[in-house]
Structure 1
Amino acid sequence: MTQAIAPVINHTFQIGLRTAPYLADHRVGHGAILPLATYLDLSFTLGTIVSKDQPCAVEQIRLHEMHILHETPRTLNIALVATEENAWQFEIGSQPSDGSNQALHATGMLRVDSTARPSARTHAGIRARCNELRPAAEHYAAMEALGIHYGPSFHVIESLWRTDGEALGQLRLPYALEGEARLYHVHPVLLDGAIQSIMATQPPETALKLPVAVQTLALYAKAKPGARLWAHSQVVSPPDVTGSFSADVTLLDDDGAVVGLLGGVLIQSVQAMPGAAVPRPAPRPAANGSRQDASTVHVEATLRAIWREFLEVRELDAHDPFFELGGDSITASQIADKSTRSGYQLSPLDILEHQTIAALVAMIAARKDLAS
């Protein structure tokens, strides 16, 4: 546990690309990332256990540090404590392979919820408002261009209809995953598709945005294996100055009955995430040979050495792009970990976003200026 919480339940499980190969199709940058939908599914499943099969809702779940998936399974730890009658607080984290402090990936609440199932909705009524068709191929091409790579297992959107602030997505679980659908109320890939459909509530995006939090997840029925689901998204908080916004998503079956609700899904601009502020442009060496600040020189030298080690390159310029050097999310995690242990705190997201040593040096210098 990273917070002062005395857990009454500790649970560990193994997750990796070998045990869940379909997760290799959920990539940000060049690495497979555990999606928010998986945390939602794990939390909901845990809720059914601790509530002894009473209806349970997941509340206030928030992602913290990305969990980068590896071929070999890694251990995730769930620590849970009762905060009041029929309510529990939980944390999900993992222990780095080097034995350093546990990484915190998600926090949230579980609560017994006896709220009645919402009334059915008609697809036709929603379609009448969402009269602009956005082809699924266009949706996935747009996500690819922004750096979110959905492989075949996550191509669950068949059609999208939209208008500004509202969207309706037609979802179907890929055939290869239908055999395991009975294990879930709603397969996490379908939950991910519901979250994906939120992007259709906005005009085409030009900046990377990721889902980072959900206020409420309630599932009222099991999705029928092989059947379609419909995701009805409605913006509840419009984009702020950073482009971040939130929406509610209602999952419907073919008859319009409500299968589940994801309330208050926060879609956050990467630029607005902690540690990912846009740095000042990194200056190239001046023509008159003027020197950099000594501390900046030390930062750059340290980062150069770490990049050479993990990217296995001998020659390296401060302006060489990370991905062109063969970097991916796994090496970003390794570089971030060693940089932090060397005294310069970086997250994998910092490296994926800024991509050059020069930009990272400027970011670290800016943080130092703000702190002084």
Structure 2
Amino acid sequence: MPQPDLPPATPMRLATTIRPYDWGSVTALPELFGTEPTGKPQAELWMGAHPGAPSTVGGVPLGDLIARDPAATLGEPVAARFGPALPYLLKVLAIERPLSLQVHPTTEQAQAGYAEENARAIPLDDYARTYKDASHKPEMVCAITPFHGLCGFRAPADAADLLDRLGLPGLRPWIDALGGGEPARALRTVFAAMLDDAARPLRAEAERALLDSRDPGLVVYGDIARACPGDPGIIAALLLNHVRLSPGQALYLGAGVPHAYLGGIGVEIMANSDNVLRCGLTSKHVDVPELMRVVDFTPSAPHLVEPARDAPGAYDYRPPAPEFALSRYEPAGDEGRSLPGGLPQIVLCVEGEVRLGEDLTLRPGQSAFIPAGAPSTRFFCKGTMYRARPGAFTL
């Protein structure tokens, strides 16, 4: 492997990896980026330094470049706060069928779980491994196309109403449990019962009812049943809010919030972690006991992030996470603008063309890393560009 040189204080083109998960689209990313389809699902384009699929510069992993000189690549404040590693991971998601019904841990939960699995000598790439690193994983997705998913628990009364509309007498104990008592406790009780093996016959009955239903409020859950036949997460999904994003809208997810993206293309940014606890809608490892320990059962509305408009065609998303922030640029013309220096930034071209400095041009699907040591970078954007960077934090 090439030995990393000290990184130049200029933008550097990234070579990136697309993950071929089974929920991905065969055609969406090729159509968006103007590339040839492979005939296989293309689910996630990763940009960053996570060891699961690190971006490279001239064949050298980005994490290796950063480790050689964290102060020059990350900037001293970022390196002091997060250590010698890029604190965020940027992705493009292309979702054809539901992602897993999942939740992410807090930092403390991740550290404890990671240490415990290490102590049991479970390899990081083992199917049964739950904690891949010791970090929390707050995340935000910004819709490129119409995008929808499940996010956070509904109010128990609303969930009870959806179950009641299935018209199944066997669901009455769950409906009644949701109708009284402390909301989080009621949701915990019913969610656990839905995922229990003893509920398999009732889940199958509810799945058939969803497939046959013409109720507009149940259509999305019928679609989930068609995509994931026989999965225990189908009925549990009825307890979650269904949220739709128009292009440019963004959704933030903190620790403990249950969610499952269902369809669309979006730019996702998160803390540099791959910790996912799943309970359904997946062929990957499921860990219901650990998910039940981590999940927050408090009913909550989806957390939409409204962008600040810093300039015409510039939208800045500032979620409550210190690791990341995201900007979207769609200028009406091709006038030049400047990106401030002092922060480790990743620039992604989604549409049209982006020119960074004098000689680096990005086309759809291409990205570049700008080290903190680079001065203010002039750019020209004819189309759509995203910029990832650390968020606001206090040392």
Give me the TM-score of the superposition, normalised by structure 2.
0.26
Give me the TM-score of the superposition, normalised by structure 1.
0.28
Q: Which has the higher helix share?
A: 1
